[in-house]
Amino acid sequence: MQTCASSPCSTDTTDTRSFLDRVIVRDEIDRYYQDGRDFIDDDRIERDLKAAVNPDPSRVRDILAKSLAIETLLPEETAVLLQVTDPGLRQEMETAALAIKHKVYDNRIVTFAPMYISSHCVNRCLYCGFRADNRQQQRRQLTLDEIKAEAAAMCGRDGHKRVMAVYGEHPKTNAAFIAESLQAIYSVEVPTRRGRAAVRRINVNAAPMSIADLKTVQQAGIGTFQVFQETYHHPTYARVHPAGTIKGDYGWRLTSMHRAFDAGIDDVGLGALFGLADWKFEVMGLVTHARELERYSGVGPHTFSVPRLHPASGSEISRHTLSPFSDDDFIRAVTVLRLSVPYTGLIVTARETKELRERCLDLGCTQMDASTRIGVGAYAAASVDQEIDKQQFLLGDNRTLEELIVDLARRGTITSFCTAGYRCGRTGGCIMDMLKTGKEGKFCKINAVLTFREWLDDFASPASLAVCEPVLNRELAAIEAQMPAFYPTVKAQYDRIVAGERDLYF
Ligand code: SAM
Ligand code: SF4
């Protein structure tokens, strides 16, 4: 069993070199290359972007029609959308992005919160407060009991059902530990006002792993496996990830999702850390990566994340981005991603401000975190203050889950706590087909209603109920109108939840 390891520096006694040699399996990179090269061709991306400058409006509209048909765009088509500056055309793109979101995901938002399990890390990413040579960082790794306490606080106090477990890369947080920590989270169940609460889906954001290690994690019951490439631009990647570190190996990271598929994980999340290289290049990289996964496994990414560089302890470049990325660029990036890979979920985290996140709801964002604390052990801790030397970076939106839910309800948006997908085998190719044909939107509407009822009964204040119930009732009425034959079955489940039963889903 893991014991608590709290120390000012994580790597003093670690033989990083031998760890590096053990972690990276060269054959598990090379087998995914073609002619000895990875699938990101920097010159090609730059050529596509250059060729697309000043796009013809009719070409832009043809591409939008393809997006609206829920087809993944070609990189050169994404390049065209990225070069649109005309305000009228931008408005048409934003309208199409929202229409796609409604077609694929209806009007629901999925919420989650990250659980930081360890800040020990052997890497030295220049932008991150956890990097090994940052002596200011106060390191901590949760014990299994502390992990359970975090889970209890997240599901029992805030009402979260979905957790994103986050780990630094270190021998102490190897695959066996990650699997144990997931089991610890799933084992927690706490009583609530009207029922009981538990974390029902754990997504994992961790370093790339070998196929054998990924199988170990998969068996513990993983939702989405996330690895962000940080930057697809090879020279920038080399600049911010020092050579000789595990993360310094671009190919090991780029092929992590190919290995995930080969390990049986067909639900994966991609992301780039915006602010390192040209943002248009990163969007091109993400779309190219999505297409490559479609080619390799027939299944694209479940989610895109768009983390943006935020101030981190002891990191100079986190305060002065290497490449400008304004709020307006953020809006353009989110819009083009929604249009380019229409079936993919889009996560905009609490790194961003409330205002910008609300703007992204109109562009096709599908997932948001709330009540977010990114210190290790921060949910069970008494203080909610952000302390830069005890966490990875600083947050921009500190709303509680209840505050977010009420704000969403005021916009007519329902919050979904549905975790049925991976538990019913609706993942990978199955869910992709359902998303592309719009079936998943209808399916999830039902589970959104059931899980929202559950959350309202267990956690909402009377004031929040007053705002949220009309939204819930409207959704219930929509189900009755759209699926009259099935409605009595839905209503029967709904009534069981009202009576205190929990975790019912279709
Ligand atoms: N250690 C693992 C890795 O690097 O893949 C996973 C955990 S890491 C804590 C999660 C993500 O945080 C990174 O992939 C990176 O994109 C993001 N991140 C790191 N430093 C950041 C910063 N200063 N601002 C915003 N996001 C940051
Ligand atoms: Fe470590 Fe990940 Fe931070 Fe890099 S981004 S220093 S790998 S925790």
Bridge partners, 274 (sequence order): 308
Residues with Cβ < 8 Å from 144, sequence gap 6 or more?
A: 1, 2, 180, 181, 184
Residue identifier of the C-alpha nearest atom 7 of ligand 2: 123
CATH number for domain 2-34+99-435, candidates 3.20.20.70, 3.40.50.300, 3.10.20.90, 3.50.50.60 = 3.20.20.70
What residue ranges in 63-126 does DSSP mark as E strands? 108-118
SS3 65: helix
Given the CA of residue 208, which atom of ligand 1 is nearest to it?
5
What are the helix (H) ranges across 174-278?
175-186, 211-219, 234-240, 250-254, 256-262
pLDDT tens-digit series, residues 195-239: 999 999 999 999 999 999 999 999 999 999 999 999 999 999 999
pLDDT tens-digit series, residues 477-493: 999 999 999 999 999 99
pLDDT tens-digit series, residues 80-104: 999 999 999 999 999 999 999 999 9
Contact yes or no for 369/164 (Cβ under 8 A): yes
Q: How far apart are CA 59 and CA 300, in angstroms?
A: 25
Residue (of 326, 250, 332) closest to 78 by Cα position: 332
Ligand 1 pocket mutation, candidates 173, 205, 236, criterion most atoms within 8 A of CB:
205
| Exposure letters 115-134 (e unless 16+ CB within 10 A, then b) | bbbbbbbbbbbbbbbbbbeb
DSSP assignment letter at 344: S
The two tokens of residue 131 are 């990097």
What are the helix (H) ranges across 111-249?
144-152, 175-186, 211-219, 234-240
Residue identifier of the C-alpha nearest atom 4 of ligand 2: 125
The two tokens of residue 310 are 């935020």
Contact yes or no for 196/502 (Cβ under 8 A): yes
Residue 21: the pLDDT is 81
Give the position of tokens 């790339």: 208
pLDDT tens-digit series, residues 244-266: 999 999 999 999 999 999 999 99
Contact residues of ligand 1, CB 6 A cut-off: 127-128, 130, 166, 168-169, 205-207, 227-228, 230, 273, 307, 309-310, 312, 318, 351, 392-393
Dist. CA 15 → ligand 2 center (Å): 17
Residue 30: count of CB within 10 angstroms of its CB? 11
Residue identifier of the C-alpha nearest atom 8 of ligand 2: 168
Residue 438: the pLDDT is 59
> Where along the chain do its domains lie?
2-34+99-435
* CA dihedral of 390, 392, 393, 395, whole degrees rounded to 10: -80
User: Is the pLDDT reported for residue 443 higher than 90?
Assistant: no
Global pTM value = 0.94
Residue 10: the pLDDT is 41
Dihedral angle sign, alpha carbons of residues 255, 130, 217, 2: positive
The ligand that comes nearest to the alpha carbon of residue 134 is 2
Q: How far apart are CA 147 and CA 166, in angstroms?
A: 12
What does the mean pLDDT of the chain come to?
92
User: Is the pLDDT reported for residue 505 higher than 90?
Assistant: no
CA 504 to chain centre: 25
Given the CA of residue 392, which atom of ligand 2 is nearest to it?
3
pLDDT tens-digit series, residues 4-26: 333 333 444 445 667 778 899 99
Given the CA of residue 169, which atom of ligand 1 is nearest to it?
1
Residue 428: the pLDDT is 66
Ligand 2 pocket mutation, candidates 125, 226, 249, 393, criterion most atoms within 8 A of CB:
125
Residue 504: the pLDDT is 87
DSSP assignment letter at 375: B
Dist. CA 116 → ligand 2 center (Å): 12
Is 58 exposed, middle or buried (CB count within 10 Å of its CB: 0-12, 13-18, 19+)? exposed
Angle at 288 between CA 70 and CA 271, to 5 degrees: 90
Q: How confident is the model at residue 436 (pLDDT cuts 50, 70, 90)?
A: low
The two tokens of residue 411 are 């916009």
Dist. CA 247 → ligand 1 center (Å): 12
Bridge partners, 196 (sequence order): 191
The ligand that comes nearest to the alpha carbon of residue 253 is 1
Contact residues of ligand 2, CB 6 A cut-off: 121, 123, 125, 128, 130-131, 168-169, 207, 247
Dist. CA 169 → ligand 1 center (Å): 11
Ligand 2 pocket mutation, candidates 9, 23, 128, 136, criterion most atoms within 8 A of CB:
128
Q: How confident is the model at residue 184 (pLDDT cuts 50, 70, 90)?
A: very high
pLDDT tens-digit series, residues 357-416: 999 999 999 999 999 999 999 999 876 666 666 666 778 899 999 999 999 999 999 999
The ligand that comes nearest to the alpha carbon of residue 229 is 1
pLDDT tens-digit series, residues 50-84: 999 999 999 999 999 999 999 999 999 999 999 99
